[in-house]
């Protein structure tokens, strides 16, 4: 892990944006992503007591995915259609998986969700990580494939290898690495995990283009 490169992109970021993400430059971007509103909606939808109604849970999963600016326009209708066609039994399993991810064992829930998404040909990092991120944006990470691959390459992180198919093992190791990187930077960059990975993405792109 090359922390020197991390310090370089941090220095460059604050030279350009002294106020961090509070800089007016980021206002349109933050408005488009609207994380605060979606987080509040997600926390309301997936409070523990709501998991007694799997049908409603799955309907709300579709709403979050459809409203997210971080999920591709290609994936949204495929996810919606799969949820509409899904049997009650599978919706219940999907609901159990999400409940475990948010309120129980993240590993157990991840693997339950993954199994169903694989069967539906929807095993995408964005789809399995977006709701946990919105539910707890300081705890969980949204995994964007391009950003992830670039971060691993640029910071010379070779202990894990990115693969398109999600796995809990990769997520757990990558989360640990990202949390280590977060500890090395100004707290203005680390109070929201999507902003932090966004900062990494911008920094890597800026230095890679030189």
Same domain for 119 and 40, yes or no, is yes
Question: What gap in Å lies between CA 143 and CA 147, rounded to an integer?
Answer: 8
Same domain for 16 and 104, yes or no, is no
Same domain for 177 and 195, yes or no, is yes
Where is the domain boundary, 105, 135, 165?
A: 135
pLDDT in tens, the chain (210 residues): 888 999 999 999 888 888 888 888 877 877 777 889 999 999 999 999 999 999 999 999 999 999 999 999 999 999 999 999 999 999 999 999 999 999 999 999 999 999 999 999 999 999 999 999 999 999 999 999 999 999 999 999 989 999 999 999 999 999 999 999 999 998 888 888 988 998 999 888 877 655
Question: What gap in Å lies between CA 77 and CA 168, rounded to an integer?
Answer: 25
Q: Which residue has the tokens 């010379």?
A: 156
Same domain for 152 and 74, yes or no, is no
Same domain for 43 and 126, yes or no, is yes
Q: Which residue, among 160, 158, 156, has the nearest Cα to 174 in the 3D structure? A: 160
Determine the pLDDT at residue 172. Answer: 97
Determine the pLDDT at residue 209. Answer: 55
In a domain, 29, yes or no: no
Question: What gap in Å lies between CA 64 and CA 126, rounded to an integer?
Answer: 12
Determine the pLDDT at residue 73. Answer: 92
Structure tokens at 131: 């709701």
Where is the domain boundary, 135, 157, 178?
A: 135
Same domain for 121 and 146, yes or no, is no
In a domain, 123, yes or no: yes
- CB-based burial of residue 50 (10 Å sphere; 0-12 exposed, 13-18 middle, 19+ buried)? middle
Determine the pLDDT at residue 208. Answer: 65
Which structural domain range is residue 128 located in?
Answer: 36-135
CA separation, residue 53 to residues 57, 59, 67, 85, 199 (Å): 6, 10, 21, 17, 38
Where is the domain boundary, 110, 135, 160?
A: 135
């Amino acid at each position: 892990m090359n922390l020197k490169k991390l310090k370089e992109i941090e220095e460059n970021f604050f030279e350009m944006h002294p106020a961090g993400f509070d800089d007016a430059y980021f206002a349109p971007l933050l408005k488009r992503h609207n994380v605060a509103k979606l987080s509040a909606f997600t926390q309301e939808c997936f409070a523990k007591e709501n998991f007694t109604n799997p049908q409603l849970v799955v309907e709300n999963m579709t709403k979050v995915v459809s409203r997210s600016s971080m999920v591709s326009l290609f994936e949204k209708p495929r996810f919606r259609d799969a949820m509409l066609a899904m049997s009650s039994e599978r919706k219940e399993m999907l609901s159990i998986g999400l409940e475990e991810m948010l309120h129980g064992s993240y590993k157990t829930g991840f693997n339950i969700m993954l199994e169903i998404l694989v069967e539906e040909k929807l095993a995408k990092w964005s789809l399995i990580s977006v709701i946990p991120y919105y539910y707890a944006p300081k705890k969980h990470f949204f995994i964007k494939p391009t950003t992830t691959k670039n971060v691993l390459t640029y910071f010379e992180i070779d202990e894990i290898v990115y693969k398109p198919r999600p796995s809990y093992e990769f997520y757990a190791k990558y989360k640990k690495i990202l949390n280590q990187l977060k500890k090395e930077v100004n707290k203005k960059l680390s109070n929201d995990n999507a902003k932090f990975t966004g900062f990494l993405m911008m920094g890597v792109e800026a230095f890679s283009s030189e």
